[in-house]
Amino acid sequence: MLIAVLVSLRPRQWVKNLFVFGGLIFGQRLFVPPAVGAALAAFAIFCGLSGAIYLLNDVADRDKDRLHPDKRMRPIASGRLPVRAALVAAGVLIVGGLAAALWLSRPFALVALTYVVLLSAYSARLKHVVIVDVLVVAIGFVLRAAAGALVIGVAISGWLLICTVLLALFLALGKRRHEVLTLGESAAGHRPILAEYSAGLLDQMIAVVTASTVTAYALYTMSPETVAKFHTPFLPATLPFVLYGIFRYLYLLYHRQLGGNPTDMVVRDRPLVLNTLLWMIVVLLIIYGT
């Protein structure tokens, strides 16, 4: 049962919680030990909280998951993890995570609580509301980034939040498109909200978000505020990596028909992994080495 609980927490999805470190890196606190410790603690807390949300979501979706070719193997849908045990584990993780968050920082705890409430509402109802469903997923990423800034006491950059929500929308819409095309006529039976989407509508939304993401990041790197903060005009040199990452993801989504699990794509596709590492290295060199 412990293994079933661990699987249901979806450790591979915890890579999403790396957004917590945005404030640490762009707040120029990467080499401040207390800030690093607080950010690591915040990352661990969000791993626990997000895992609890996955448990609640799987409990709510267990009947529909049994109709999905892959999701039917999840521990709760397959019966390997009883519903009661899943709910108890989720409750323990939420209470423990929020208590630890309060010990770290009250503002951080408030954001963590907001995350739990919003994503719980998503599992219960909001995932069935067209457009709102993908917006809530995106806001979840924004809350991670905001929490990471608050826990180390740095100002929350509007640019950080804008780029985060746009990138998260980009990934969420790509996932919806893959689900609509892969499940076909049975899409609505697995997830009713998919009946409200079409490939054409999602293509238009992805195009808007793609252009907005690139524009927002480009403006951020060139803004006088950014130049003054980092004391360097060279951050636009990182734009090619962002362009390649987005274009590579679009290639995988449209040409290779992937996108059902954006996290797996990001961590398993070698060109994407290499591009992300190079982007991080260049960003760190520019911010901390100039």
Based on the fold, state whether residues 134 and 260 are members of the same structural domain.
no
pLDDT band per the 50, 70, 90 thresholds, residue 5: confident
pLDDT of the residue at 205:
94
Shared-domain flag, residues 136 and 188: no
pLDDT, tens digit (0-9, with 9 covering 90-100), for 7-28: 888 888 888 899 999 999 998 9
Give the chain's end-to-end CA distance (angstroms, integer).
Answer: 51
pLDDT of residue 103: 94
Q: Report percent pLDDT > 90 for the chain.
A: 55
pLDDT digits (tens, 9 = 90+) for 27-46: 899 999 999 999 999 999 99
What percent of the chain is helix, strand and coil (3-state, nearest 5)?
85, 0, 15
Looking at this protein, which amino acid is placed at residue 65? D
- Judge whether residue 276 has pLDDT over 70: yes
Picking from 125, 153, 181, the residue at the C-terminal end of a domain is 153
Angle at 44 between CA 279 and CA 20, to 5 degrees: 40
For residues 112 and 232, state if they share a domain.
no
For residues 173 and 238, membership in a common domain is answered with yes
Last residue of a domain, one of 153, 179, 206: 153
Q: Which of 57-71, 147-161, 241-255, 261-275 has the lowest mean pLDDT?
A: 57-71
Burial of 214 (0-12, 13-18, 19+ CB in 10 A): middle
Q: How many domains does the chain have?
A: 2
- Encoded tokens for 80: 């390997």
Task: Say if residue 191's pLDDT is above 80.
Answer: no
Shared domain check, 52 and 12: yes
In a shared domain, residues 49 and 105: yes
Q: Is the pLDDT of residue 259 over 70?
A: no
Any idea which of 75-84, 154-163, 257-266 has the lowest mean pLDDT?
A: 257-266
Q: Put residue 261 in one of left, alpha, beta given phi > 0 → left and psi -120 to 50 → alpha.
A: beta
pLDDT at residue 187 tops 70: no
Query: Residue 123: which CATH number?
Result: 1.10.357.140
Residues constituting the chain: 290
Q: Do 120 and 228 lie in a common domain?
A: no
Instruction: Note whether 170 and 66 are same-domain residues.
Output: no
C-alpha 258: how far from chain center: 18
> Range with the lowest mean pLDDT among 76-80, 83-87, 184-188, 286-290?
184-188
Mean residue pLDDT of the chain comes to 88
Question: One-letter amino acid identity for 164?
Answer: T
Backbone conformation region of residue 197, classed left if phi is above 0, alpha if psi is from -120 to 50, else beta:
beta
Shared domain check, 225 and 273: yes
Here the tokens at position 213 are: 């993401």
pLDDT the model gives residue 176: 87
| Residues 6+ positions from 256 with CB-CB distance below 8 Å | none
**Residue 290 clears pLDDT 90, i.e. is over it:** no
Give the other-Cβ count within 10 Å of 269's Cβ: 18
* Mean of pLDDT values over 46-72: 83
Do 130 and 209 lie in one domain? The reply is no
Q: Which two tokens stand for residue 73?
A: 């193997």
pLDDT tens digit sequence for 235-245 = 999 999 999 99
Give the pLDDT confidence score for residue 188 in this predicted structure.
Answer: 62
Residue 212 pLDDT: 95
Same domain, 189 and 257: yes
The set of residues, in sequence order, having a beta carbon less than 8 Å from that of 104 and lying 6+ positions away, is 38, 41, 42, 45, 151
Q: To 10 degrees, what angle do helices 239-254 and 158-183 make? A: 10
Residue ending a domain, choose from 102, 120, 153: 153
How far lies 192's CA from each of 3, 127, 130, 185, 195, in Å? 30, 9, 10, 11, 6
| Residue-number span of the structural domain to which 49 is assigned | 1-153
Structure tokens given for 59? 């409990």
Q: Which amino acid is at 160?
A: L
pLDDT of residue 13: 86
CA distance 41 to 33: 12
274 vs 9: which has the higher pLDDT: 274
Whether residue 226 sits in one domain with residue 209? yes
What was the pLDDT predicted at 260? Answer: 60
Q: Does residue 69 surpass a pLDDT of 70?
A: no
